[in-house]
Amino acid sequence: MRRELSVGEVARRAGVAVSALHFYEAEGLIRSQRTPSGHRRYGRDVLRRIAVIRVAQAAGLSLREIEQAFATLPEARTPTAKDWARLSAGWRDLLSERIRQLTRLRDDLTGCIGCGCLSLDQCPLRNAADRLGEDGAGARLLVE
């Protein structure tokens, strides 16, 4: 089989749109060689990169964070299983933390059902929500 893949092939195999591949490339998440005429050619490892991108997105990471993680991969060679393992280990911890937060939020929600305290400072739910909000995107808490 051919070693190099065209955008269309990658799109089909990875289940993403061609435009998304262009976008990822523009954002520095994937790279391509070009044929003399300017068409993109990808090594097979791009499929794994894209799979990893999708998994990380599902885990709640932004493309920026994924890009930063990718920046720790070796430039010179195709990343090995070990390289990927390092990334996924970090993300697993992050996922665990996120699961912990959501679980807490759910439990507080359960405990607070009908308690009427939702607008009060003492409510664990409000505070849980605030804590969660802190690591959200954008500066939402303008209260100093």
Partner DNA sequence: CCTTGACCTCAACCATGCTCGAGGTTCTAC
Partner DNA sequence: GTAGAACCTCGAGCATGGTTGAGGTCAAGG
- Two tokens at 106? 């759910």
Pick from a copy of itself, DNA, none: which does 47 bind, CB < 5 to 8 A by kind?
a copy of itself
Q: Which is nearer to a copy of itself, 41 or 54 (CB)?
A: 54
Task: Using CB under 7 A, pick the residue from 4, 13, 23, 73 that binds DNA.
Answer: 23
123: contact with a copy of itself by CB under 8 A: yes
Q: List the one residue out of 23, 42, 39, 15 whose CA is nearest residue 31.
A: 42
Least distance in angstroms from the C-beta of 126 to DNA: 16
74/136 with CB nearer DNA:
136
Residue 22 lies near a copy of itself (rule: CB under 8 A): no
If one asks whether residue 35 binds DNA (CB under 7 A), the answer comes out as: yes
The type of residue at 130 is D
Q: Outline where the chain has alpha helix (H).
A: 7-14, 18-26, 45-58, 63-70, 81-112, 124-134
On whether the CB atoms of residues 21 and 11 are closer than 8 A, the answer is: yes
Residue with tokens 């092939």: 9
Residue whose CB is less far from a copy of itself, 36 or 99: 99
Q: What angle do CA 51, 56, 62 make, to 5 degrees?
A: 125
Cα dihedral sign, 8-14-15-21: negative
Identify what 59 binds: a copy of itself, DNA, none; CB under 5 to 8 Å per kind.
Answer: a copy of itself
Of 22-30, 61-69, 70-78, 89-97, the segment contacting a copy of itself by CB under 8 A is 89-97
Residue 6 binding partner per list a copy of itself, DNA, none, with a CB distance cut-off of 5 to 8 Å that depends on partner kind: DNA
